[in-house]
Amino acid sequence: MKMTRTIHQTTDSEDIKSGGFLLLLSVAVILSFTVVLWRAGWFSQNQRIDNGTVQETVGYWVQVLGRFDQDRQAGLQQQWDRTVQQVTAFETGQPGRLQEILGQSIAHTARMILMEQERLRAAVTDAKTELERFNRERPARWQEKLGGAVLAAYRRAPEGGPSFRAALQRETNRLREMDKRLSRRLSATLAVLTDRQAEFPNAIPGMYGEAIQSAHRSARMFDESHRERTRRILTGLNADLSWQRRPEDYIQMVGVVREILAGFRGVGGFAEYGWPALAGVLVAMGWLGSTIPKSPIVDMPATSGGPVADLSKRKAA
C-alpha cells in the first residue's frame, strides 16, 4: 500500500507542474495584452503633426505625380503619333494592296480554268475511247451474249421445239435492248461532255468577273475592319490624352499623407495584429496542455509474485 500511494503522489505532482506552467503562461499572455491595450490608448490619441512636414511630403508627392503624368502623356502621344503614321501608310498603300489582291485572285482563277479545261479534255477523250471500243467490240460481244441466250433458253425449255424458239427470241430481244441502252448512254455522256467543253470558253469571262468582284469585296472588308480597329484605338488614346487630375484627387492625397504621418489609428494595430497573435497563443497553450505526457496510475497490491513486490525486495536488499 505504501508503494501504491507513492505512485499516486508522483502522478499528482506532474499534473500540478503542468497546470502551474499553463497558469503562468496564461497570466503572462493576459498581462502582455493588457499592456498592449493600455498603450493603444496612447497610440489612438491625435498626435500633433508639423504643417511643414505635411507640406513637404505633399509637395514631394505632387512632383512624383507630375513626373508620372508627364511620362504617361509622352507615352500616349508617342502611341498616337505611331498610330497616325500607320493609318497614313495604310491609306497610302490601299491601291497597291488592291492590285495585289486582284492579281492573286486572277491568277488563282486562271489556274482553275486551266485545270477545268484539262479535266474536260480528258473526260471527252475517255468518253470517245469508250464509245469507240463499245462499237468495235459489238460483234464479238453479241456472239458471246447470243451463246448465253441459247443456254438461258435451253434451261427454260429443254424439250426444244416452239417453246425453245420463243424463249430464245425473248432472250435475244432483251439483250438487244440492253445493248441499245448502253450505246445510248455512252453517246449521251459523250455529247454532254462535248457540249460542256464547247461552252466552257464562253463562261471564262464570267469567272474572271466573279474573281474580280470577290477580290474587291475582300479588300473592302479588310479595309473596313482595319479602319474600325484604328478608330477604336484613336478614340481610347484621345480619352486618355484629355484626362486630367481634379482638385479632389489632390485633396484626397493630402488626407492620405496626414494618415501616414499620424501613424496607426484605433487601438494601435491591435485589431490588425493583436487578435491573430492572441488566438495563436491560445491555440498553442491548448496544444501544449493536450500533448504533455502523463504517467499512468498503477494501483495494484504488493504481492509476492508482482513487479511491486520485486521492487520492494530490491530496495530492502
Q: Give residue 220's pLDDT.
A: 92
The chain-wide mean pLDDT, for the chain, equals 77
Measured between alpha carbons, how far is 30 from 14 in angstroms, rounded to an integer?
24
Find the mean pLDDT for residues 152-181: 79
Q: Give residue 245's pLDDT.
A: 85
The pLDDT of residue 5 is above 60: no
Digit-coded pLDDT (tens) for 132-143: 888 888 887 777
Cβ–Cβ < 8 Å for 259, 265: yes
Digit-coded pLDDT (tens) for 102-125: 999 999 999 999 999 999 999 999
Q: Which three cell numbers stand for residue 270?
A: 491591435
Measured between alpha carbons, how far is 312 from 1 in angstroms, rounded to an integer?
11
Digit-coded pLDDT (tens) for 220-239: 999 999 999 999 999 999 99
The pLDDT of residue 99 is above 80: yes
Angle separating helix axes 51-92 and 94-136, nearest 10 degrees: 40
Domain definitions of the chain by residue range: 1-47+265-317, 93-245
Instruction: Determine how many CB atoms are found less than 10 A away from the CB of residue 254.
Output: 15
For 43, what's the count of Cα atoms within 13 Å in the CB-facing half-sphere? 16
Instruction: Determine how many CB atoms are found less than 10 A away from the CB of residue 168.
Output: 18
Q: Which three cell numbers stand for residue 45?
A: 490619441
Digit-coded pLDDT (tens) for 25-71: 666 666 666 655 555 544 444 456 677 787 888 888 888 888 998 99
Digit-coded pLDDT (tens) for 265-311: 544 555 555 666 667 777 776 676 666 665 554 444 444 444 444 44
Find the mean pLDDT for residues 148-175: 78
Name the residue with higher pLDDT: 177 or 25: 177
The DSSP secondary structure of the chain, one letter per residue, reads: -HHHHHHHHHHHHHHHHHHHHHHHHHHHHHHHHHHHHHHHHHHHS-----HHHHHHHHHHHHHHHHHHHHHHHHHHHHHHHHHHHHHHHHHHTHHHHHHHHHHHHHHHHHHHHHHHHHHHHHHHHHHHHHHHHHHHTHHHHHHHHHHHHHHHHHHH-TT-THHHHHHHHHHHHHHHHHHHHHHHHHHHHHHHHHHHHHHHHHHHHHHHHHHHHHHHHHHHHHHHHHHHHHHHHHHHHHHHHT----HHHHHHHHHHHHHHHH---TTTTIIIIIHHHHHHHHHHHHHHHHHS--PPPP-----SSSHHHHHHHHHH-
Measured between alpha carbons, how far is 186 from 138 in angstroms, rounded to an integer?
13
Q: Give residue 247's pLDDT.
A: 84
Q: Give residue 263's pLDDT.
A: 60
